[in-house]
Structure 1
C-alpha cells in the first residue's frame, strides 16, 4: 500500500507545526509553543495563546486581539503563522466566506504587524465561490514560500459534486480542492495551480516536513451519501508534491472536525483540530503517525477558541510576548 510504504521508517522522526519552518535544535526546556486562532466568525482578528507542554494553553494579552481584519471580507479566520529564513514572521488568513482572495501580513516580533495586503489568488476563476483556510510553508529545496488554500470552482470535479449543499446559497456546487501559489519576496507570485486532488472534497490542508517526507493533514469534507468531516493524511517526497493517496481517517469516529495543525513535542506528534459541533478544540497523539490516542480530555484552551496553527518558538520569544501584555 502506497501510504504505508511512504510511512515506513518515520517512527520517532522530528516534526514541526503544520505551517512552520523547522526550528534549530534546542533543549525541550528552551522551547515554547504559540497557538494562533480566531473567535466567532473572525471579526475580532488574531488571538494568541501559549503552552510549555502542548496540553495547557493560556491566552496572551488577556485574549485580546493582536490585529483586526481590514482587507477582503474583513474577517480574519484560520490564521497561520510561520517564521521564515529571513527571521520575520509571516501570516496568511481567510478574509471572508465568499472571497476570491486571502490576507497577508508580516511581523518581526509577533506583536506589531505590517499593513495587511490582499492577494487575489482566485480572481482568474470566474464564479469561484471562496478561498478558505490558507496556510504557508517554506520550501527549503526551492527556497520559496508555498501558500495553499481550498476553493470551490463551479462545475469542476463533477464526480464529487456537492450541488445543493446547505452552504451553497447560489445553487452552485461546493466541491473544494487544494490550490497553491509560490513566492520568494511576497511581491511577485506564481500562477495559481492545483495542489492536491485526492478524489474527494477536501479543505483545511496543513503541510509539514518530517525527515525526507512531507506530510499533508487535510479534512475530508465529503457530504454525500454520508458526511465524512474527518482528518486524513497524504505524503510526498517534495513539498510541492505530488502527494499520494490519502490515509484512512484518524480523527475520532462520528466527530465533525476541521482545521488540523500538528507539532512534535519530545518525539511525540500532537494534532489539534476544531470539533466545531462540540464548540471545543480536541487533539490526537501518536508516536508513529499510524496509531493514535485521543487526548482531548487532557488539553485546555482559552474559551471560545477557533482553529489556527501551532508555532514552536524560543522561551525568549515567549518571555517578550508575556512582558508586552
Structure 2
C-alpha cells in the first residue's frame, strides 16, 4: 500500500513538474489579417512554429487612414515590455502608416496615423511597414515600401508600382527621424524584414517586386541600416510575397504568401545560403495574410485565448 502511494505521489510530482515546465515555455504568435482587411488585427499561435491555430477574434479594429484598413500588421516588443504595432492603412494615395501600442496585446492605445512620407508629396503609398528593435542603438527602425513615380529606373512594372524601401527611427513613437531611403537594390522591392543573427551580422529578407519575378531573396549587412550586399538568388516560386522569418531552434523558418497558389509557403535555412522548402510540413489556417512572428509566454497566450473565448492550456 505504501509503495503504491509513493508511486502515485512520484507520478503526480513528475506531472506537476512537466506542466510547470511546459507552461513556462514561450510560444509563437503570428500577426494576421483577413481580406478585405477592414476587420482588424488577428493572431495565430503555435507551440513549435510549424503547426498554427487561429484565435478567432479581432483584437484591434482599424480606425485611422482614409481607407480604415489594416494590412501587414507588424509587432515588436521594446525592452520595457510594451508591444508596438504598425500597419498599412491604404492601398494608394496614403503617405502614412498606422500605429498603436499595448501592454498585453488586448488593450490598445489610441490609434495614430503617422505621415512617414509627408516630405515627398508625389508618394503613391506606404506599404507593409516592418518594425525592428535595434538593441545596439536602443531604437526602433520602421522600414516600408513606397513608390515615387519617375524617381528610379524601372522594369516592366508600372511607374506607380516601382517601389523602393524607406525608413525612420524612433525611441518613443512620439518623435521620429526624417524619413530616408533605406534600400535601392536597382529593382522594385517591397515587404522587407530585418533579422539579427549576431552582433554586426544582419539579414534583410525582401520581395523582388519586378515582373516577371515577384519572389523572395535575402541580402546581408553589418549594420541594420545597411548598406546591404551579396544579394541571394530567389529561393521561392514566383508570385510570392510577405516574407516573415523566425528562429526556431537552430533553424530559421521563412514563411511567405504564395498568393497565386492561394496558400502559405515556408522555407528552412540555417545559413541563408541554402534553403529547403518545407511548405508541406507547416500548417497555417486558410485566410491568413501577411504578418510577423514573435514569441510570448504561456500566460500571455492564455489571456489572449480568454479574450477570444477559447479554451486555455
TM-score, scaled to structure 1: 0.84
Secondary structure at the aligned position of 2:299 is classed as: helix
**Contact 2:64 2:112 (C-alpha < 8 Å) held by counterparts:** yes
2:16 is matched with which residue? none
1:179 is matched with which residue? 166
Per-residue CA deviation, residues 26-59 of structure 1 (Å, 9 max, x unaligned), is 9997121000011013111111010001111111
What's the offset of the Cα at 1:303?
1.9
Say which of 97, 114, 118 aligns to 1:123: 118
**Does residue 269 of the first structure (1) align with residue 288 of the second (2)?**
no
What's the offset of the Cα at 1:291?
1.6
Say which of 29, 39, 44 aligns to 2:34: 39
**Contact 1:148 1:179 (C-alpha < 8 Å) held by counterparts:** yes
What's the offset of the Cα at 1:205?
0.3
1:12 is matched with which residue? none
RMSD after superposition: 1.7
1:64 is matched with which residue? 57
CA distance in 2, matches of 1:118, 1:130: 13
What's the offset of the Cα at 1:161?
4.9
What's the offset of the Cα at 1:292?
1.3
Secondary structure at the aligned position of 1:319 is classed as: helix
Structure 1's 240 and 27: CA in aligned 2 closer, same or farther, altered over 3 A? Answer: farther
What's the offset of the Cα at 1:162?
4.6
Q: Comparing 29-38 with 210-219, which one deviates more in the overlay?
A: 29-38
Say which of 218, 221, 225 aligns to 1:236: 221
Per-residue CA deviation, residues 37-83 of structure 1 (Å, 9 max, x unaligned), is 110131111110100011111111xx221111111121100000011
What's the offset of the Cα at 1:314?
1.8
1:291 is matched with which residue? 274
Secondary structure at the aligned position of 2:124 is classed as: coil
Per-residue CA deviation, residues 66-101 of structure 1 (Å, 9 max, x unaligned), is 111111121100000011112100000000101110
**Does residue 220 of the first structure (1) align with residue 177 of the second (2)?**
no
CA distance in 2, matches of 1:264, 1:90: 20
CA distance in 1, matches of 2:79, 2:62: 26
Q: How many residues align?
A: 285
2:49 is matched with which residue? 54
Secondary structure at the aligned position of 1:320 is classed as: helix
What's the offset of the Cα at 1:233?
0.5
**Contact 1:149 1:180 (C-alpha < 8 Å) held by counterparts:** yes
CA distance in 2, matches of 1:310, 1:317: 15
**Contact 2:252 2:269 (C-alpha < 8 Å) held by counterparts:** yes
What's the offset of the Cα at 1:143?
1.2
Per-residue CA deviation, residues 114-151 of structure 1 (Å, 9 max, x unaligned), is 11100001121122110000011111121111111000
1:6 is matched with which residue? none
Say which of 173, 184, 208 aligns to 1:197: 184
Secondary structure at the aligned position of 2:302 is classed as: helix
Secondary structure at the aligned position of 1:64 is classed as: strand
What's the offset of the Cα at 1:324?
2.8
Say which of 69, 76, 83 aligns to 1:75: 69
Secondary structure at the aligned position of 1:181 is classed as: strand
Q: Which runs of 5+ in 1 are unaligned?
A: 1-25, 166-171
Q: Which runs of 4+ in 1 moved over 4 A?
A: 26-29
What's the offset of the Cα at 1:201?
0.7
**Contact 1:102 1:118 (C-alpha < 8 Å) held by counterparts:** yes
